A and B are shown apart, each in its own frame.
Chain A
Amino acid sequence: QKEVEQNSGPLSVPEGAIASLNCTYSDRVSQSFFWYRQYSGKSPELIMSIYSNGDKEDGRFTAQLNKASQYVSLLIRDSQPSDSATYLCAVNSGSRLTFGEGTQLTVNP
């Protein structure tokens, strides 16, 4: 089992829809969770961090964390073509961050 697993893509949604990206992790004592966006040919860009169970909203983005289920998700509301990118889930394991393989999202105009 991989330490951090993301739903396999690619994921395609129409413009204006909600995109849902999922991530599970194996280390029960993980405390910090991050979502990064990576455009093709660019480096990862931090878009959300979450540390407590529940939802955290920032603009069109909502991160959801359920530590009991070892599950973290990212919802993107009113998806735009500019949201088309690969989304990386990262989870701390001790002093390191472990990254998932990423989910490629395409938002179709």
Chain B
Amino acid sequence: GAGVSQSPSNKVTEKGKDVELRCDPISGHTALYWYRQRLGQGLEFLIYFQGNSAPDKSGLPSDRFSAERTGESVSTLTIQRTQQEDSAVYLCASSIQWGGLYEQYFGPGTRLTVT
């Protein structure tokens, strides 16, 4: 079946502009996660959603970052007033259920470059 999809694959934006990144999880997966990976570094947890429960936003680095998810489908990650340090690959993953016990499958990522 189809895997996790993300769009756009690449995004170049000017400092100070807002960007919106999209993630479409695997069908039937109730949990969705966003991570950030800076060049040459590990994965940094940002936020996760589980069904209709309140999301865990504890990894969001600042109030410029926000995310939404409609039910168990598409999620959008919004970064307002982008800064150069926001340049990274933003990865979305989904799993069949919430919690660290379940395997997470990643999308191809969105490479964000802030100039």
Contact = CB atoms under 8 A, between A and B. Distances in A.
Interface of A: 30-32, 34, 36, 42-46, 49, 51, 88, 90-102
Contact of A44 (B101, B102, B106): B106
Contacts of B43: 44, 88, 99
Contact of A43 (B98, B101, B106): B106
Contacts of B106: 36, 43-46
Contact of B42 (A94, A95, A96, A99): A99
B25 interface: no
Chain B interface helix/strand/loop/mixed: loop
B42 A97 contact: no
Contacts of A97: 33, 45, 100, 104
Nearest to A31: B101
Nearest to A101: B42
Contacts, number: 55
Given A44-B91, A44-B106, A92 B99 contact: yes
Contacts of B108: 42-43
Contact of B103 (A34, A95, A101): A34
B101 A101 contact: no
B45 to A, nearest CB: 6
B107 A32 contact: no
17 contacts: A31-B100, A32-B100, A34-B103, A34-B104, A42-B108, A43-B89, A43-B108, A44-B91, A45-B106, A46-B103, A90-B104, A92-B100, A92-B101, A95-B56, A95-B98, A95-B99, A101-B42
Which of A34, A91, A97, A98 is packed against the most chain B CB atoms within 10 Å? A97
A97 B103 CA distance: 10
A46 B98 contact: no
Contact of A88 (B42, B89, B98, B99): B42
Contacts of A90: 104
Contacts of A31: 100-101
Contacts of A94: 100
A95 B49 CA distance: 11
